[in-house]
């Protein structure tokens, strides 16, 4: 699961295998360990209690929650991304990952090549 952060914006990109893991476990987590045992992590959870996509940050971990029904609708469709209403100025986007155009030798099997051929990714 890739993360891209810009000023007041967080975007997660998921490959096919990660979406299947999210479907099965209702949870994904990725970590980056820095020297000195400092950890930065981001988690994506399916939340039956949530009405909208929302985010929080605690103890070095970014949490993003997706409403359960909306997440399954997204996973089961050709819809590329889920966008949250801007909450307190924070823009959230979770999308299916496309293969990189500048890496022709990359194995594209775990990416959404079929959707990439139809449209440009949300940026």
CA triplet 25, 119, 45: central angle to 5 degrees? 20
CA 120 to the chain's CA centroid: 17
Which pLDDT score, from 0 to 100, does residue 88 have?
80
Residue 123 has pLDDT above 50, yes or no: no
pLDDT tens digits for range 69-118: 999 999 998 888 999 877 688 999 999 887 665 555 666 676 656 565 55
% of the chain residues with pLDDT over 70: 78
Strand partners, 63: 43, 56
In the block, which residue shows the tokens 């099965």? Answer: 24
Delineate the domains of the chain, giving CATH numbers in brackets.
2-116 (3.30.1360)
CA 102 to the chain's CA centroid: 22
- pTM for the whole structure: 0.82
Phi, psi for 67 (deg, rounded to 5): -60, 135
């Amino acid at each position: 699961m890739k993360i891209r952060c810009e000023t007041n914006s967080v975007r997660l990109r998921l490959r096919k295998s990660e979406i299947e893991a999210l479907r099965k476990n209702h949870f994904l987590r990725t970590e980056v360990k820095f020297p000195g045992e400092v950890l930065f992590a981001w988690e994506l959870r399916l939340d039956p209690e949530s009405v909208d996509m929302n985010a929080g940050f605690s103890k070095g971990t970014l949490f993003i929650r997706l409403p359960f029904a909306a997440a399954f609708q997204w996973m089961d469709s050709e819809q590329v991304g889920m966008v949250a209403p801007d909450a307190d100025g924070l823009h959230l986007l979770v999308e299916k990952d496309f293969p990189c155009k500048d890496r022709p030798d990359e194995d594209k099997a775990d990416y959404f090549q079929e959707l990439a051929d139809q449209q440009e990714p949300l940026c």
